[in-house]
Each structure stands twice: as structure tokens, then as C-alpha cells.
Structure 1
Amino acid sequence: MLFSSTPKATREELFDREEELSELEKLLNIYPIVVVTGLRRVGKSSLIRVYLNEHENYFMSIDVRKLYEMSFGNISSLHLTRLVGEELNKISKIEKLSSFLRKIRGISIHGSSVEIDAKQFELSDMFEKLEAFAAKNNKNFIVFFDEAQYLKFYGARGGEEIRMLLAYSYDNLPHVRFIFTGSEVGMLHDFLKFEDPDSPLYGRAMGFLTVKPFSFELSLEFLRKGFEELEEKIDFDLSEVVKQLDGIVGYLVLFGLKYMTMKNKDKALQEVFSTMSVLFEKELSEITKRSPRYMTVLKSIAIGINTWTGLKNVLHARGDFVSDSRLFSVLETLQKLSLVEKFQDRYRITDQVLERILRENRV
């Protein structure tokens, strides 16, 4: 169903994205590591899940955002091992794979249940055994890290242990492939450090795929098909909805669900903005804790004060005599979080819905 709030699992559930699925397959055939980026709620996870489910490769999926939350922002090997154990429980039901899992140090299997002794278990050993299994079956084993920018909070060295493991796998395990997704593009690059000469991943070629919002026409078609699926006849102009929500599929889905409950376009749109206000407030709370400057800058850009000089003047008017270097750091962080982008000599909010929420002081 198109108007489903959960990530899609089959191609039949996924609207369009044929080009992106084809490109993802091509990249995975070439590169051991593929990085998939795009705005929040644009459909990255659905794209990856559909690809993984329809191909014959074996895979495991790690939601790094869940890791970050369960560890309160300090991800350890124990947290990662716990989540890996949950994934191994799923794939242990594949009979041929189960015998290989028994060879991994620290793993014991009872029926189809996997137990891990964290003191003995090592990810490198697991990847080596999975490589042997995949090579024997002439397939790849794909490890999918969703919202992988949070791996920057793994261990005491900003995820260095993970980067070293990735570099080892890249060089020695040709049948183990990795997909990383991230909404905070700059932060994801900060974790991977593939352009840093001191990083283990420096110089290793990776595949990159950007998932973009639907075009205006595709957004209209998505809404039309969604309502047709539910046999819902509508009596308003869908273009009015798309103009407010843009082509981000998560917002279009939310509108469809709200409309099916309320049967009123304006109320459904209002509910979308109310719901997203709460979610954005939660998402922005952590950065706001660091400094109120971030919210001041975001709200200023949203109302059109979007030049370096204009933003500095706003802060100065508030009694915050920020230095040039500090303002640069604030703007750089907002760009890394994919909240702001620079266009020529001006800044703008990347997400049209967030821009309106900021402009109306809903957060």
C-alpha cells in the first residue's frame, strides 16, 4: 500500500524508483561500499529494503539510529553485538547459513535461536565466515547500516574501529558488501573519512547514490494512485497539496493517512505540519542544547535573512557578538546535518516543510 507509514518491502509497494534500484544494483556490483544519501523521509530505507528483499544475496540490516538511542549517544561494542545478534537470529533460519554461523567464535545456536558471548565474539571473525559462505554459494553478503552517521559515536575514537574493519573487509572480503545510508550527509562523510589521508578508508573507491524527492508530476501521480488504491474519491486539487509538501514521500504518505481519517484537505495538511513540528522539535533538541545560535540561525534563514552579514547582524542585535569563525562553524554544522544548503552567496533551508514550521515558530 502506498499510504503506509512503514518502509516498503517489495517492488509492488514501492512507487517509481526503478532508475535508483537499477543504479544501486550496478554500484553494488562494482564497489564493496555504497553510500546512499538523501533528505529525511525521502524513501532511502524503502529503496534499500526493496532491493535487498528482491535479490538473492544474503543480508543483515542494522538501524544505527536505534543503536544511538539505546546507548544514550555512546555506542559500544556490546550495543552493536546485541543488535547483530538480533539480525543473526533472523538469518539463522536459512538452513545453509546456520551451519556457517556455528563456526563463528562466540556464537552458539539452539534450534534457530542464536546466542552470542560478547567476550569471545568479534565482528571481523563473523565477516570472514560470512565471506566464506557467500563465496561458496557464489553470492554476496550485504551489511546494511541505516542512518550510519551515528557510527561516529562508536567507541572512544569516533568509529575508528569500524573504519579499520571496513578497510580490512574492502581489501580481503570481496563477497561482503556494505550499504550506508544517511540523512545527515556531512556527518556521514565525517564518519567514513574517505577523504582524510589518516583514515583507513582513504583512497578506497566507493559508490554514491543520491535519492531525490519526487518531481511535481510524480508527486501528483503518487497521491492519485494512493487514493485509488484505497478507493477514495477526492474533490480537491492535489497540486495544492504538493505545493505545500514538495516531493518528499514521507510527507505525502502522512497527508494521505491524515486525509483518510479526517476527509478534509485543509485539516489533513494542518495535521501534517503539527505532526512534523513535534518530530522536528525532537530532532533539533540535541543541537539546540549545544547552543541557541543554531535555532536563531535556522529561523532567520527561514524568514529570508539568509546572507552571512544578515545572520551576523541578527545575532549581534540579540547581544550575541559571535565571531566570524564561530558563525562559520554554526553554518557548517547545519550544512553537515543537511538542514541548510548554500546557494551562491545565500543560505536556504533544505526541507520546505521544515522551513514553514520554522517560519511560523512551531518549534
Structure 2
Amino acid sequence: MEVIDLLFSLTPKTKKEDLFDRERELKDLEKLLETYPIVVITGLRRVGKSSLVKVFLNKSDLLHITVDGRRLYETSGGNISSHHLTRFLGEELSRISKSQKLLNVLKRVRGITVSGTSIELNPKEFSLSDLLEKLNETAKRRKKKIVIFFDEAQYLRYYGSRGGNDLLALFAYCYDNFENVRFIISGSEVGVLHDFLKLEDYSSPLHGRGIGFLTVRPFTFDQSVDFLMEGFREVGEKINFDVEEIVREIDGIVGYLVLFGVKYLEKKKKDEALKEVFHAVKALFEKEMEELRKRSERYPFILRQIARGINTWSALKNIFRAKGDFIGDSRLYSLLETLEKMSFIEKTQSGYRIVDPVFERILRE
């Protein structure tokens, strides 16, 4: 069965009327962009980060360019060069250049040729910093912001020969010089925070700069129930099971809820649909754990302990010592803080907890 309805769609949302109950996050993103040159969108995989940003940009009157890191990675064969980025930007500029005022701006950028409404970029002459300078001037005259959205930004660590550092240097330059240019960066927390932005690395061009963070959190229990009920109403599907039971199993991560809805409509069996969701999440989880393990074996160890109830700083410190790992206090704090930033865990009054209940269940196995 082909599912084309608004809520039970596996592709990111682009229109506000299709986005379910994210009013607060949309307002928060608007405020952050007013303050910070760079805003990083964090949150669990499939929680709806891309949908949030796409809807925000499409409903705003801000000039914006979207760079899909995954598409760049795939079309480049895993080795993204300035040529690949330039070609991609040419496509994006053609999309947004319907305004004659913008065409006039682009004519003044080195390496860009404008013929009618057709745009061509010469990779050997084109300068991204020159483009951003001209766009910044235009945005300043209009008293607006220009937004560059890097989605799936973890793949940008494959840009150039220095692991994306050339792009980070460009971000830092724009941060310091172009007051009307804004960057939104989103993607896998492990890849974005560790491998691309490298915010904890003193040698990173962005180290020490003020950056805005917006965490897209899972839906509450009630929101999740409403989401599933509305999704089934949209397709005219009458269900004979307790939706609350499903939400207790998979919580409020919108991607899981959508996948359950799609699989239920396909199989018409609640338990089969749930099994499909857990199978997909387990594969995703194993990939995430492998990515974490590459950075430090301590990350998956900490997550397993928290899932088993060893969830305070002192208890974690003791269990590290018990296995002969005399980790320093500052290092343990840093590991826990990073796991929080990556939305794997959160700190509560009773200790740390795993944010994603499906991940927690898999960790306990």
C-alpha cells in the first residue's frame, strides 16, 4: 500500500500544515537565528530535525540555501571536492534565483555566469566566500538574514583533504565578518559534533565561538497518542487496538511513530508492525554504537551501565575503577556532557537516563 498522507509519510515535511505540534521549536529557532551566526540542531535520529528546519525556512521570507551533505557524499563517491560543492550550489542558486534582484547580485560573483535565468558556476574561479559576501550585502540592504542550511552535515567531514576544516574556517570567517549570514547545521550528533564541527577541539576554527543549540525532543506521551490517532484518521483507518500501548513501547520519536503507522497500514497487524520498528531501530542503534566506539570504548560502556541503572556520576566512576579503568574526573564529566549533547542521555534529579526507550531496551539485552 502506498502511503501518501501527510503524517504517515517517510519523507521530511516541508509545509507548516504538515508538521505536527512543533510551534515552540519553530519559535525557538527563529529567536536563535536572531542571536547566533551558527545554530546547531540536535536531537535523536528520526526525531524530526530536518522537517523542522525545512518547514521553518519555507514559511519564512528569509533567503535560504540548503546543502544536503548525504547527497553530496553519494554523488561524489565519498570524497567531496570543491567541484562537487560548486555544482550543487549552482543547482540551488538556479532554484532560488527567480528574483531579478538576486540575479543581479549573482552577476557580480566571481565564477558565476548568468544568462537570462540560467546560472553556471565555474569551479576554478568560483569563490564561496565571495558569494556569501555579496549575499550578506544584499541581506543587509533588505534588513534580512541569508540562511545556509547544512543538512546531514556529518558527511561534510569528507570535504576536501582536511576533514572539512576548510568549511569550518569559512564558517568562522563569516561568523566574524558577515553579520547577516546565518548557518543552520543538523545531522547525526556523533558525526556533526565529533567529526565535523569538532567543538571540543582547541584547534577547531569554531572553538570558543558562541553557538546556538536547539534540541528537538521526542513528543510527549499525549502528543504521540494524538499523532498516531490523527495519522490513522487521515487515511480513514479504523483501528482495534490501544494506541497508548504502542506509545509505551516506542515513545515519542516521530520517525518510529511514522514507521509504525506505515507498517501497520501495510500489514494490518499491530505486533508485526511493532516488530518491524524494533528491527529497524536495532540496525540503526548498532550503527550508532559503532560510530561511538570509534571515538572511545567508554561511550558504549557508559550507555550500557546507565541502561542497567548505574546512572550517577559516582556510581559510574566506581564501576570504571572496578574494571581497572582509572578514568579522571574531568574526562568522565566530558564524556557524559558529550552524550547529553548528542541526545543519548539526559540528567534528571535521580541520575542520568537513556532518552530513547527503544535504545534502552536494546542496551539491556
TM over 0.5: yes
Quick check: 2:113–2:121 contact (8 Å CA) kept in 1? yes
1:357 paired with 2:359, answer no
1:227 paired with 2:212, answer no
What is residue 160 of structure 1 aligned with on the other side? Answer: 165
Give distance in 2, aligned partners of 1:348 and 1:82: 44
Quick check: 2:112–2:126 contact (8 Å CA) kept in 1? yes
What is residue 274 of structure 1 aligned with on the other side? Answer: 279
What is residue 28 of structure 1 aligned with on the other side? Answer: 33
Following TM superposition, by how much is the alpha carbon of 1:189 offset from its aligned partner in structure 2, in angstroms? 7.0
| TM-score normalised by L of structure 1 | 0.81
1:102 paired with 2:134, answer no
Match of 2:251 among 243, 246, 251: 246
Give distance in 2, aligned partners of 1:249 and 1:123: 35
What is residue 218 of structure 2 aligned with on the other side? Answer: 213
Quick check: 1:32–1:206 contact (8 Å CA) kept in 2? yes
What is residue 52 of structure 1 aligned with on the other side? Answer: 57
More divergent stretch after superposition (71-80 vs 328-337): 328-337
Give distance in 1, aligned partners of 2:74 and 2:305: 30
Give distance in 2, aligned partners of 1:271 and 1:197: 43
Structure 2 unaligned segments of length 5 or more: list them. Answer: 1-5
Following TM superposition, by how much is the alpha carbon of 1:248 offset from its aligned partner in structure 2, in angstroms? 0.9
Match of 2:182 among 167, 177, 181: 177
More divergent stretch after superposition (184-193 vs 239-248): 184-193
Quick check: 1:293–1:330 contact (8 Å CA) kept in 2? no
Say if 1:345 and 1:235 are closer, same or farther in 2 by CA, change over 3 A.
closer
More divergent stretch after superposition (112-121 vs 287-296): 287-296
More divergent stretch after superposition (108-117 vs 187-196): 187-196
State the identity %.
56
- Which SS does the other structure have where 2:18 is aligned? coil
Following TM superposition, by how much is the alpha carbon of 1:98 offset from its aligned partner in structure 2, in angstroms? 2.5
Q: What letter is aligned with 1:170?
A: Y
Give distance in 2, aligned partners of 1:271 and 1:31: 40
- Which SS does the other structure have where 1:40 is aligned? coil
Following TM superposition, by how much is the alpha carbon of 1:91 offset from its aligned partner in structure 2, in angstroms? 1.8
What is residue 3 of structure 2 aligned with on the other side? Answer: none
What is residue 256 of structure 1 aligned with on the other side? Answer: 261
| TM-score normalised by L of structure 2 | 0.81
Mapping for residues 70-219 of structure 1, pairs under 5 Å: 75-110=80-115, 112-184=117-189, 187-188=192-193, 191-192=196-197, 200-201=205-206, 204-219=209-224
Quick check: 1:185–1:336 contact (8 Å CA) kept in 2? no
Say if 1:190 and 1:345 are closer, same or farther in 2 by CA, change over 3 A.
farther
Report the RMSD for the aligned CA atoms in angstroms: 3.5
Q: What letter is aligned with 1:121?
A: F
Quick check: 1:182–1:188 contact (8 Å CA) kept in 2? no
Give distance in 2, aligned partners of 1:31 and 1:290: 29
Give distance in 2, aligned partners of 1:33 and 1:290: 25
Following TM superposition, by how much is the alpha carbon of 1:79 offset from its aligned partner in structure 2, in angstroms? 3.6
Quick check: 1:297–1:311 contact (8 Å CA) kept in 2? no
Following TM superposition, by how much is the alpha carbon of 1:200 offset from its aligned partner in structure 2, in angstroms? 4.5
Listed one character per residue, the Cα deviations across residues 256-288 of structure 1 (whole Å, up to 9, x for unaligned) are 111111122111111111122233344444555
More divergent stretch after superposition (6-15 vs 208-217): 208-217
Give distance in 2, aligned partners of 1:28 and 1:289: 33
Q: What letter is aligned with 1:233?
A: K
Mapping for residues 315-354 of structure 1, pairs under 5 Å: 324=327, 337-340=342-345, 348-354=353-359
Q: What letter is aligned with 2:235?
A: L
